[in-house]
Amino acid sequence: MNKIFLGSIDYESALKIQIEERERVINGQSSGTVFFLEHNPPVITLGQNAGKGNIICSEELIAQKGYRIFRASRGGDVTVHEPGQLVIYFVMPLDSKSVRKFVNNIIDVISAALLKYSIRTEYRQDMPGLWVNDKKICALGFDLRGRASMHGVALNVCNTMEGFSLIVPCGLAGTGVTSIKEQTNLEISTKEVAATVSGFFPDGAN
């Protein structure tokens, strides 16, 4: 497994990198890569199950605030990616028989990494993501079609979470969001958290 830290990158460039790596994985030219990054400029993405009704502000206002809107091939509803949020994309070989194990392993890794910051989370099958009480700290959304995965998780680290006021997060009305900074009062960076999460995956090329 390769691990690559992309730093701050726009959504379209990161998507292109994922697609190119997916082709390499399918063609047997790569064993798969985990990409660590944050998206800048910020974006709102709509998954395969998303309706635009869960974007609760006008596109003009969203644009004024600096957010762009994209339709994504991942599952799930609508979410936000913004600076200060750690996004982890998994472009990995995929066996249809092991899809559930693949997702569970990722959930376990993120949960264990959050325990390093004394944050205990709960995974909710009916509302996919990692939760701290009634607030979501990590959203999940994968494209698991074919022989290689794409997309992954978005972990709130030190982002303002302003973008979540523009949407119904993951289509779940009445729920809140939180971050590592909010839970710990630590001044913390996505780079630091990326290194923590990375340590729970097998070593590979960096």
Give the residue numbers marked as catalytic: 170
**Strand partners of residue 78:** 46
Torsion, CA 95, CA 17, CA 43, CA 164, rounded to 10: 40
Cα dihedral sign, 183-188-189-194: negative
Residue type for position 85: Q
**Strand partners of residue 89:** 35, 152
Residue type for position 28: G
Using omega within 30 degrees of 0 as the cis cutoff, is the peptide bond preceding 41 cis?
A: yes
Distance CA 2, CA 179 (A): 27
Scanning the structure block, which residue is given the tokens 């494209």? 143
Cβ density class 131-152: b for 16+ within 10 Å, e for less: bbeeebbbbbbbbbeeebbbbb
Query: What length is written for the chain?
Result: 206
Please enumerate in sequence order all residues whose Cβ is within 8 A of that of 53, keeping only pairs 6 or more positions apart, or say none: none
